[in-house]
Amino acid sequence: MAAYQLAQQALAGEFAARWAETLAAVEAREIAGSLTELEAEWSAAVRESAAASRVLSIAFYRLVRALETGRVIGGPGYRPGASLGSLWADFNRATGKRTGSGPSTALPMDTRDPFPAEDLAREARRAEETFRHQVADRVAAHERERPARHGSSALDDPALVAWEKEFAESLKTGSTGAGGMLVQDAGRDAIHAALQDDPGAIGYYRKTDASPCYFCALMAGRGAVYKSKRTAAFGAHPHCHCQAVPIFSRRYQLPAENGKFSRMWRDFGGGSLADWRTYYSTTTKT
């Protein structure tokens, strides 16, 4: 559903806006001395948006499952007597928009809870590692490079100012993409875990955004990915807005884009991933 994908993108956007505001309040040359405060802000922004992503994904999964099977699954957010009407209301609340409605007749329930408990310690470690890689390590390398490049240049030296500005923009781009991936991964991971533990689930397909990169186009071109431990990984990357759409019936219908990418792969005829990247770039520009 487009509403789900747009809502997940909006959550990544909320994180990006909050993080951009935090970075804007610190001069580039002062970032090294502000890492503790920056990490605290980064972690809080990721944590809050990721929690909303997880809630949204659970509401989406439960709604799609009910629409396709006529049954409701238990787990976080389930309320006794749930109906398509109440599931749509939960989904609308999570997206912040009214995207659908349904009858109030209570649905049969499958008591199994396929959604894993939140592993807050794991999520905190992942956020810490990502911040270290995308911010702290890069800032340390930048600080080491400054004396060699600019020596004792005045702080208002045009070359130094331009260099600091370029670094700040690069830091913002990299850390924003990585943080947005963590935010959306909270929801993607919830769906993947549920698929593995839900007997009613068959698999998923990859729903791309309007202009996916070569990798995402290739993954979407696979079509449906039937569940197994081997195929559980989704393969998202920074700035990726693809989502996993769960499948509960063999009568599913893939978006037109998936078929288009599958045909492109067949026309490509085989080769390395680098060759596919060139072919995809050339083909989509014509």
Mean pLDDT in the chain? 91
- For residue 248, the tally of other CB atoms under 10 A from its CB is 20
Residue 248 clears pLDDT 70, i.e. is over it: yes
> What would the two tokens of residue 13 be?
């956007």
**Segment 227-240 mean pLDDT:** 73
Task: Determine phi and psi for 241, rounding to 5 degrees.
Answer: -115, 15
Separation of alpha carbons 234 and 138, rounded Å: 27
DSSP-derived secondary structure for 190-243: HHHHHHHH-TT--EEEEE--SS--HHHHHHHTT-EEE--STT------TT---E
Residue ranges of domains in the chain = 2-200, 202-286
- pLDDT per residue over 63-96, tens digit each? 999 999 999 999 999 999 999 999 999 999 999 9
Write b or e for each residue in 126-154: b if 16 or more Cβ atoms lie within 10 A of its Cβ, otherwise e.
Answer: ebeebbeebbbebbeebeeebeeeeeeee
Q: Is residue 216 within 8 Å of residue 206, measured between CB atoms?
A: yes
Q: What pLDDT score was predicted for residue 48?
A: 96
**What H or E segment, with its residue span, contains residue 95?**
helix 84-95
Res 222: pLDDT:
86
Six-digit token pair at 6?
Answer: 């747009």
When mean pLDDT is compared across 3-12, 145-154, 212-221, the lowest value belongs to 145-154
Residue 212 has pLDDT above 80, yes or no: yes
Overall pTM > 0.85:
yes
pLDDT average, residue stretch 258-280: 92
Please report the pLDDT score of residue 159 as a whole number.
Answer: 83
